[in-house]
Amino acid sequence: MKTTAPTTVCVYCGASKGTRPSYAIGAQALGTELVKRGLALVYGGGSVGLMGELASTVSSNEGSVTGVIPRALHPTEVSGVTPGDVIVTDDMHERKSQMASRADAFIALPGGLGTLEELLEITTWRQLGYHQKPIGLLNIDGFYEPLLVFLAHATREGFIAPEILSNFVVDSDAAQLIDKIIECLE
């Protein structure tokens, strides 16, 4: 399916900064690149961890930010103050649906179980034909290499169709990753 470049990118990422400074630097680089290209951000709505680095970078550079956060995580004691527009949902399922419906493409930064769950769910939705939007992995310092090795293993073992692996657009550089995602849409 050929279409125009994305206007809104959904980014999945951690509520922690992780152990390496390069993760926060990568989140900032992605935020800067989104603003530079006029792409809006939709994300999980927190202002802590990589989520906060990303959203504050986009917001402080006058980019468009929409945070989608479940009511249980909305208190500032839990997630901080969300920059930009905020959509409060009843639960995580509604949050993920809202984020997906607003996005033209998806990118995963490093993160934990929540990030991985969101990434795998949106990949499953693509496998099932619910969408044909590109899915990018910002592979900072090889963060996603173990996942890619596992997915290749599961493919060899017959649990994942080979074409599913081609659904991922992978790069360690934010600008190059966005270039690749846009190329997928042309």
Total count of domains within the chain:
1
Assign 4 a pLDDT band (cuts: 50, 70, 90): low
Q: Which whole number is the average pLDDT over 118-131?
A: 94
CATH number, domain with residue 105: 3.40.50.450
Residue 181 lies in a domain: yes
pLDDT (0 to 100) of residue 76: 60
Residue 3 lies in a domain: no
Assign 185 a pLDDT band (cuts: 50, 70, 90): confident
Residue 2 lies in a domain: no
pLDDT digits (tens, 9 = 90+) for 7-52: 999 999 999 999 999 999 999 999 999 999 999 999 999 889 999 9
Range of the domain at 103: 8-185
Q: How far apart are CA 119 and CA 161, in angstroms?
A: 17
Residue 180 lies in a domain: yes
pLDDT digits (tens, 9 = 90+) for 132-174: 999 999 999 999 999 999 999 999 999 999 988 888 999 999 9
Residue 95 lies in a domain: yes
Residue 1 lies in a domain: no
